[in-house]
Amino acid sequence: MDWQLLGVSFITIFLAELGDKSQVAAIALGGSSKFPQSVFFGTAGALVLASLLGVLAGEGVAQLLPAHLLKAIAALGFAIIALRLLFAKEDEEEDASPEAETPTIALSDPD
């Protein structure tokens, strides 16, 4: 077993999962449940299954495509996500402009 790869994988996923919607859902379920152990095992099992599917999919794709091409595709994907996040705020500001608002209709008679 490659212990360094295990450690890097653990740290990467642990940090990526902190504060995401899965953790918020687990907090909500755990806080409203009489059996928090069941919530723990259910959420842990779901994360393990999702990770297994990701690893199997990655292994399958790695058998079809060379490693340098996979790295290039991943880098391109992250760059596209970064650009969308960078320019999303500008799009939101344009959408919030007064011209973008829908007119309201008065329901009462002004007479």
pLDDT digit string, tens, across residues 50-104: 999 999 998 999 899 998 998 999 899 999 999 999 888 766 666 665 555 555 5
Mean model confidence pLDDT for the chain: 84
94 in the same domain as 51? no
State how far Cα 82 lies from the chain centre: 14
* Per-residue pLDDT, 37: 94
The number of domains in the chain is 2
Q: What is the pTM of this model?
A: 0.58
75 in the same domain as 55? no
Q: Which domain holds residue 72?
A: 66-98
5 in the same domain as 59? yes
Closest residue by Cα to residue 51 from 3, 2, 25, 16: 16
Distance CA 88, CA 85 (A): 5
Quick one: average pLDDT of 9-14? 90
